[in-house]
Amino acid sequence: MSTAVAPSAPHAAARREALAARIATVPRLRLAMLPTPLEPASRLSAALGGPEILIKRDDMTGLAFGGNKTRQLEFIFADLQARGCDTLVAGAYTQSNWCRQMTAAACKLGLGVSLVLVHGEKGPKLQGNLLLDRLMGASVDIVDIDSMEKLQPHLDAKAETLRAEGKKPYIVGPFVANTLELGAIGYVQCAIELDEQFEAQGIAPSHLYVCGANMTPAGLALGFKALGRDIRVVGITPIQWREDRATDIARIAGFAQKRLGLDVGLGTEDFDSDDGYIGPRYGVVTPGCLEALRLAASKEGLILDPVYTGKAMAGLIDHVRSGRLRGAGPVVFLHTGGLPALFAYAEDLGLE
Ligand SMILES: *Cc1c(COP(=O)(O)O)cnc(C)c1O
């Protein structure tokens, strides 16, 4: 009954099993290569003179260069198939990792793909994610609109055209609650995987840093809370939204909690959301991001991306330097992928 004793392994295993059983109630397709490695980055840790850093390699999940979307798509594509749809209609920016991984999943499953992509920072340049979308045979329309909120009518119109051709489209827009909830469940599953890895490696990390806009930090923080795992999720945001990120993340976790029938919920006090590393705007490389890209590459041979993980690592580096992590246990950095975009940003990397 001593409170000083850590939860015993059988207890932790039982909690994981109970949570996995909740997840098993949600239809899922296997698309990801799991578990992804959790590897030490000791030369990076030493260079920063900070806590031990471990990298969770979700850039290795598979689907045309991997990334965090692959776990999320296992649930989203199961929903697509359950509805009998045969064509994916999706949209985001031209360098969208989300659209690239969805296109890869659709190809693997023999579905049609129609993308409506917003011009964004890198426009129609045939590089990185856009190049891969085209290579995989997606039909691509590029629209030059000034806000993601204006994208939905374009997706609806595309779906209407496809319906008139006898297709059954499935729309994944930027603001669809069902997608958000299923995507978060992908990261509740990742929390179980990490909990197992921590136990197997005999470590108890104090923090997990992740570049998160919504589903990824929501699922992770909810999953760890449901497991009783004491680790602080710190989401570094890549984009300034109109709504406060923490409120949105807690709400998305609420959708997932309800769908899984969990008795623990997530409040904004259960995780950190830091929007201090975005720079001028989404998709623009900052000096901190550039330093992070170079440091991870030169110390570990670890490649980060310029839009998401580079900024999240810039946040972690700054938190180490400013003393925020003094005395912290090991810190996990979840690599969410995004690698193809690096090639579209070649001229921003200061290497020429
Ligand atoms: C989409 C994306 C994110 C953000 O994921 P959310 O689930 O929206 O929080 C982070 N990193 C990369 C590389 C991404 O592509």
pLDDT higher than threshold 70 for residue 18: yes
Calpha distance 344→132 (Å, rounded): 11
Mean local confidence (pLDDT), 268-294: 97
The pLDDT value recorded for residue 1 is 39
List strand residue ranges (DSSP E) for 81-231, in order. Answer: 87-93, 112-118, 139-143, 169-172, 207-211
Calpha distance 250→270 (Å, rounded): 9
pLDDT tens column, 83-98: 999 999 999 999 999 9
Tell me how many helices (H) and strands (E) the chain has. 12, 10
Point out the ligand 1 atom lying closest to the alpha carbon of residue 72. Answer: 7
Residue 121's pLDDT band (boundaries 50, 70, 90)? Answer: confident
In this structure, the number of other CB atoms found within 10 A of the CB of residue 152 comes to 16
The pLDDT value recorded for residue 280 is 96
Q: Which residue ranges have their beta carbon within 6 Å of ligand 1?
A: 67-68, 97-98, 183, 211-217, 305, 308-309, 336-338
Calpha distance 259→132 (Å, rounded): 33
Point out the ligand 1 atom lying closest to the alpha carbon of residue 305. Answer: 13
Q: How far is the CA of 4 from the centre of ligand 1 (A)?
A: 37
The pLDDT value recorded for residue 337 is 98
pLDDT higher than threshold 80 for residue 10: no
Q: How far is the CA of 9 from the centre of ligand 1 (A)?
A: 32
pLDDT higher than threshold 50 for residue 5: no
Mean local confidence (pLDDT), 184-196: 98
Contact 91, 121 (CB under 8 A): no
Q: How far is the CA of 212 from the centre of ligand 1 (A)?
A: 5
96 is catalytic: yes
Please state the pTM of the whole predicted model: 0.95
Which is the catalytic residue, given 2, 42, 45, 96?
A: 96
pLDDT tens column, 209-261: 999 889 999 999 999 999 999 999 999 999 988 788 899 999 999 999 999 99
DSSP at 347: G
Residue 149's pLDDT band (boundaries 50, 70, 90)? Answer: confident
Rounded CA Rg of the chain: 20
For residue 81, CA distances in Å to 78, 106, 111 come to 5, 11, 10
pLDDT tens column, 52-85: 999 999 999 999 999 999 999 999 999 999 999 9
Residue 277's pLDDT band (boundaries 50, 70, 90)? Answer: very high
